[in-house]
Amino acid sequence: MRFGACREAPVKIALLPGDGIGREIIAEAAKLLERLRRDGLPIEPMPDATLSLARRADAVMLGAVGGPRYDALPRESRPEQGLLAIRKALGLFANLRPALSYPELERASSLKPEVVAGLDVMIVRELTGDIYFGAPRGRRTNAAGETEGFDTMHYSDSEIRRIAQVGFEIARKRQKKLCSVDKANVLDTSILWREVVTAVGKDHPDVQLSHMYVDNAAMQLVRDPRQFDVIVTGNLFGDILSDEASMLAGSIGMLPSASLDANRKGLYEPIHGSAPDIAGQNKANPLATILSLAMMFRYTFGRADVAERIEQAVRKVLGQGLRTADIALPGERVIGTREMGDAVVGAVYGNIRERAR
Ligand code: NAD
């Protein structure tokens, strides 16, 4: 049984390994893509793509950027700034971060297993606006002669509307519950945010919309995270809440992310960084990257079938007890990055054989 017709023009996937463990984890994603391609899926992986190639691709798969060799550079020369610039240049305004608890890894969470069992939250974070990009910003001398730093938080009506729409669309395909997070008791930006999200909600009567202040949301995420289905929020609040949610699921090495533009072109990347402490040692967990690939098939290529097969394969290898060091409990046997990648490829094809029978 093959994945898809060979006649379709292949979609182009740019692979940007980046720094540190980036090369190792992207190699595992490339291995899976190559196997899918040989099996007839109309895709064309472009290894070690340049940024200009990434712009022309249908989707981009990024490893991670950053590392100690850049630490001495000024902020504007660091690779993280390059990443912010790509997100902005490609118009990637919607960041999707699922936090999912796998039964096999419940004990790796910092919360009690009974609090996280079955957790499946999707955080939709606005990515190109808010205080991170607002102007004016900088330093100035105030009336008292003191130096002060300042930034500007702002959101326009249209920026809020388009991210709210993404939130509703995703909620519609899940449990139909959307929680919009803001700070409308203090911030004018948030008052507008709440008004616009409420207005967009009128077009989505099948989705149950609620609003929550960000401080309460931070607390509720650790008190009872399973109350959430989809959370939609701005750039700053989403940055913090999505990192908090990632810890609920156990290891940072398990969590994928997607950043989408208005046409669903996307940049897909694991949420973790370049992990310089384990780079080049065949220790990195490639599953967050492989799960990012699954998101790519679901959100950019509209192939939920392929996404589900990859996700099932990940569940299968975890069920078989395969663990990289970051998700292993004391006494459990540990395998390396390459072995984990091979196991997933094997499980994807195991699944196909089972389905074909
Ligand atoms: P990190 O996510 O790289 O590492 C944090 C810890 O998690 C480390 O102990 C690391 O070994 C471990 N870890 C991370 N990914 C893992 C994986 N796949 N498998 C097993 N263990 C894993 O965060 P950091 O150490 O704060 O940052 C290192 C560099 O990465 C910095 O330069 C930072 O700016 C950059 N960074 C980049 C991105 C990105 O590219 N989007 C995101 C976060 C951090």
Instruction: Give the nearest ligand 1 atom to 284 CA.
Output: 19
Q: What percent of the chain stands above pLDDT 90?
A: 71
Answer whether residue 110 is part of any domain: no
> What's the CA-to-centroid distance between 21 and ligand 1, angstroms?
9
* Predicted confidence (pLDDT) at residue 87 exceeds the cutoff of 80: no
Domain that holds residue 290: 1-97+258-357
Q: Which of 39, 120, 151, 239 is catalytic?
A: 239
Q: Which of 58, 102, 155, 183 is catalytic?
A: 183
Does the annotation count 283 as an active-site position? no
* Predicted confidence (pLDDT) at residue 352 exceeds the cutoff of 60: no
Instruction: Give the nearest ligand 1 atom to 325 CA.
Output: 20
Answer whether residue 109 is part of any domain: no
* Predicted confidence (pLDDT) at residue 189 exceeds the cutoff of 90: yes
> What's the CA-to-centroid distance between 273 and ligand 1, angstroms?
3
Write the CA distances from 21 to 128, 200, 289, 308, 323, integer angstroms.
Answer: 26, 41, 11, 26, 17
Residues 6 or more apart whose CB falls under 8 angstroms from that of 133 comprise 88, 235
Q: Would you call 35 helix, strand, or coil by DSSP?
A: helix
Residue where a domain terminates, one of 190, 218, 248: 248
pLDDT band at residue 5 using 50, 70 and 90 as cut-offs: very low
The pLDDT of residue 355 is 46
192 and 308 share one domain: no
Does the annotation count 243 as an active-site position? yes
Residues 59-64: what's their mean pLDDT?
94
How far apart are alpha carbons 275 and 289 in whole angstroms?
A: 14
Does the annotation count 132 as an active-site position? yes
240 and 127 share one domain: yes
Q: In this structure, what token pair is assigned to residue 71?
A: 């630490």
> What's the CA-to-centroid distance between 117 and ligand 1, angstroms?
26
Answer whether residue 10 is part of any domain: yes
Residue where a domain terminates, one of 248, 272, 294: 248
Nearest to 334 by CA among 268, 251, 265: 251
The pLDDT of residue 23 is 95
The model carries a pTM of 0.89
pLDDT band at residue 84 using 50, 70 and 90 as cut-offs: confident
Helices (H), ranges, the chain: 22-38, 51-56, 79-89, 113-116, 157-172, 188-201, 214-223, 235-248, 287-299, 304-319, 337-356
- The more confidently predicted of residues 8 and 309 is 309
Answer whether residue 111 is part of any domain: no
Total count of domains within the chain? 2
Distance of CA 206 to the CA centre of its chain: 26
Residues 20-47: what's their mean pLDDT?
93
> What's the CA-to-centroid distance between 180 and ligand 1, angstroms?
28
Residues with CB under 6 A from ligand 1: 21, 64-67, 80, 83, 252-253, 269, 272-278, 284-285, 288, 326
Q: Which of 243, 261, 342, 349 is catalytic?
A: 243
Per-residue pLDDT of 245-301, as tens digits, reads 888 877 788 999 999 999 989 999 999 999 999 999 999 999 999 999 999 999 999
208 and 298 share one domain: no
Instruction: Give the nearest ligand 1 atom to 18 CA.
Output: 40
Per-residue pLDDT of 101-152, as tens digits, reads 888 888 778 888 889 998 999 999 999 999 999 999 999 999 999 999 999 9
Question: Domain holding 85: CATH number?
Answer: 3.40.718.10
Q: In this structure, what token pair is assigned to residue 4?
A: 């898809």
242 and 272 share one domain: no
